[in-house]
Amino acid sequence: MALTNILPPLTSNVGAPPGKQQAAPAIHAFIGEARAYGDATIHNIAAQYNTTVNLGPDNADDRSYPWLMDVRQQKAPCFTGRQEHLESIRSIFWPNLASAPSQPQPSRPDRKKITIAGASGAGKTALALEYAYGHSTQYYAVFLLKTRTAAELAISASLSLRRIVERHQKRWAERWPSPPPGLCERVASELGMFDDPVADFEGLIKEATNTQHSVERFMAWLPSSLPWLLILDGFDDSTGFDIDDLLPKTGVGHVVVTTQNPDACATDRLIALPSSLGLNEGTVLLRDLAGEKAQCCREETGTYLTPRCQHIRDIVQSVGCLPILLDLVGAYLRTAKVVKFEDYLEPSSSIAESVEEVKNSYYVFTFEKAFEKLSPAAREVMQLCSLISNSDIPIQLLKGGIGVVDWMADNIALNAALAELHSLSLTSRDPKTSNLSIHSLLYGYAGTTISDRERSKMSRRVVEMVTATFDFSEDRSADEWMYERLIQPHISRCYDLLRSDIALSNDSLDVQTLKLAHQLARAYSQHGDLATAATLYEAAVGDSRPQAASNPTLVDMVNTYGVIRRLQGEPDQAEKLHVRAKMLLESTSSFVGPHAEDLKESKLLEVQQHLAAVLLDREQYREAKEKFDEVLERQLQRQKPGETSVASLKTRQQIGNVLQLMGRRTEAKEAFQAVREACETKYSDHHPMTLEAAHAVAAVLAEMGEYDDSLRELRVTLAKQEQYLGTSHYSTLDTLHSISSLYERQGLYDDALEETSKVVKTLEDIFGAAARKHPWMLVVRSGIADIQLRQGRYQDALKGYRDVYEDFMARGMTGNAWCTKTNVARVLRDMGQYDAALAECDKALGCLRQDPDVDPSFITVAEFCKGTILELQERPSEALVLYERVALEEEDSYGANHSETLKTKCSVYGATAKRGQPMDALVRPTSLKI
């Protein structure tokens, strides 16, 4: 048969956007099957599809399976017993194979799922790993994901995605001086990243490993036609997600779930693992684990009659034949200086009265023996970890203890302690990331070794370690952002520890505690979790807390807390906090050193800047601009020649915001562009300040009617914000909302509603019950009503606008309220209720004209709305006066040929014609100022 007659189609991925389909994994399966035709043929096929195929092996030289094995754990060095369970897994997954083959198999297996259930420490993971390593050549890819919690799963998937991209990068680097054109884009498409621009592998890794999307991207990558094995380790049905909802819908691949709950998920086959081995199996295992010290016992075959073998047998019985305990005992004996096995056994001081107590006594006895052997440094590492987590603890996090923990003077001291723990099998390390993990039973026991007196002190030490690894500098790298996102579960644990510590004290907090609270709160606010940051600040420096003497840390906390309250839509509370920060600054004498006064003035200018921002939120635009101008003038005076300070860039950005809200769009665009260029020069094109300025430029472009340019800018900005800040960060949401508004202006209402729903859901997650009346949500709700009006859903739009109007008025945001009143008039007009519409429009116009700070475009919109109502009431002369005024305003703002200006000129034509002056209608619009 000619090979060309059985070639599969080049693309698959049903449902992928047009033009974005990835190379069909079936091609690679076909190449694997076609090896029987000879190397030359395979080489020609690989060359033929070289420009299309990028998933899996590149050519005939990539023959060995697995293409990628990423389980991040070594197999048990002395796997013993469980042979019948191992055979069960093989026979279920590969019923037609007598044993594990050494070469890849052409068959494409149906989707099958096995659940291994058993008590903690029974060896579930060891069994799954033994199968994975023994049968790896049957699979194109093998993975192990931790699934104890949703957060743990996201991090685990993120690490595997990094390995996938690195594997692609490595194989091309080995063969070609540079990747072929479009390779990164093709790899991105495999991960379901159809819209995210990626320029190189570094950017691809950073975007792909975003934990917000890591699970879905990982599952999207799993081949639809090639065999893969996925181990989901430690699943608990209370974790809040369903395994079957996560897995790809294709019909291939093998899944192994390990769990303590046999009913945790649906399964094709349940393997119930006994908690203990048989006595003979346990004896063989411990003998092998003990190494040379049990050599003489190896000479016994079938009997265990020598004294040394009997002692091994006694030890196995003493720990209940439990695999995890045998592993610890074996490590202990292997590293012990004594040779006598009988020395390990000691009489237990407690008498167990139940089966559970017997099992617990085995654990405690063995754990105690292991801990007795530890040095003080290694013991403290275990205790510190017991207060953090039992999995995926980065070494970088533990290095935060250098200079914090007494004995941890440098990396050498830490590495020595970690090596000691590893030698005793108390910890395991991911061979790729070096992240530390501890078995859940050991993790729990380590926590019990901390006395009540030491727990508070050690909890504080953990928080100090973790926060010491944070970087809050303006030029922090993307890797540092990624690190903080990956350790979010550990940051949350620190939050719990510190909150408990703060709650125990009714007095003012010491400076060190304030610093720790400030560091944690900043980490949360930088990643968009304002609610948690506010809770921590309130507990540390809120009104209910007795106030400490003024010091720089307290000033920074109070001022930053004010910023967060403003972002949460509470300008009055924000103002109180900023005024309080100013008073603390003016009264403090804690700034010391040669630059004390300079630092103090810098802090005062920062407070003034935030007070100006409060005025901006209150729509007091003139006052806000005056204050910003004063602050900027002083900041520029303080700058060294050729220097661009962060503070001045932030102030220039705020001045651009004021200009935009005052309707001075050309000036605003120029201000934002200058800030963006300065930030790109000082930092990078993906720095948060650069992205904020880029978004501001796009927003002004939209207001100026340059929709295509605006949308292009917004999409690029959004992709970078999602990559570097996360999808729930407030800056990311702001850009997403701008895209939604732009879709609405372009008539893409379904797209607009889809994007808006994402914003609403995330705002509800962030602000909780307060979300509905948050200023940001009010703007979003008004946007939803805009879309409903365009769709002809008049009753929904009318109710939406009226509710938003009431909420704007309740917050004192009158400018936005009167704009919303204009929108109410628009709905009533379109419903044919002209008199009611005119009354609402007149009320809005009267109030807008009385406000000296209002954006002139608000008045223009209201005047145009009134003109349309008058025209519908057959009052064309009155409408014409308003249309001509609006057209002149729009020519000044947008230009004569702008779409908004031309639309208004058409209205001038229509009103003129209705007055019975058709010839004037042909001339009048062109006689306007051009």
What is the per-residue pLDDT across 578-630, written as a single tens digit (0 to 9) for each?
A: 999 999 888 877 666 777 788 888 899 999 999 999 998 887 888 999 999 99
- 848 HSE (CA, 13 A, CB side): 24
In sequence order, which residues have a C-beta less than 8 Å from that of residue 527 and are 6 or more positions away? 484, 485, 488, 725, 726, 728, 729
Write out the residue limits of the CATH 3.40.50.300 domain(s) in the chain: 68-272
Among 866, 791, 788, which Cα is nearest to 822's?
866
Question: Rounded to whole angstroms, how far apart are CA atoms 645 and 637?
Answer: 11
Instruction: Write out pLDDT tens, residues 42-79.
Output: 334 334 333 333 334 333 334 467 888 888 777 776 77
Q: Which residues of 328-361 are buried (b: 16+ CB within 10 A; e: fewer)?
A: bbbbbbbebeeeebeebeeeeeeeeeeeeeebeb
CATH 3.40.50.300 holds for 68-272: yes
pLDDT (0 to 100) of residue 793? 92
pLDDT (0 to 100) of residue 34? 36
Burial of 462 (C-beta count, 10 Å sphere; 0-12/13-18/19+): buried
pLDDT (0 to 100) of residue 796? 93
| pLDDT lower than 50: segments of the chain | 1-63, 106, 300-305, 339, 347-359, 921-922, 925-930
pLDDT (0 to 100) of residue 716? 93
Tokens of 862: 């209201």
Map residue 251 onto helix, strand or coil.
Answer: coil
pLDDT (0 to 100) of residue 59? 38
Burial of 881 (C-beta count, 10 Å sphere; 0-12/13-18/19+): middle
pLDDT (0 to 100) of residue 884? 87
pLDDT (0 to 100) of residue 42? 35
Note whether 441 and 121 are within 8 A (CB). Answer: yes
Cis ω before 66 (30° cut-off from 0): yes
Q: Bin 304: left if φ > 0, else alpha if -120 < ψ < 50, else beta.
A: beta
In sequence order, which residues have a C-beta less than 8 Å from that of residue 327 and are 6 or more positions away? 76, 289, 425
Bridge partner residues of 112 (DSSP): 254
Question: pTM higher than 0.75, yes or no?
Answer: no
Question: Rounded to whole angstroms, how far apart are CA atoms 89 and 95?
Answer: 10
Note whether 328 and 423 are within 8 A (CB). Answer: no
In sequence order, which residues have a C-beta less than 8 Å from that of residue 822 and are 6 or more positions away? 840, 841, 844, 845, 858, 861, 862, 865
In sequence order, which residues have a C-beta less than 8 Å from that of residue 888 and are 6 or more positions away? 928, 929
Q: Which residues of 577-588 are buried (b: 16+ CB within 10 A; e: fewer)?
A: bbebbbebbeeb
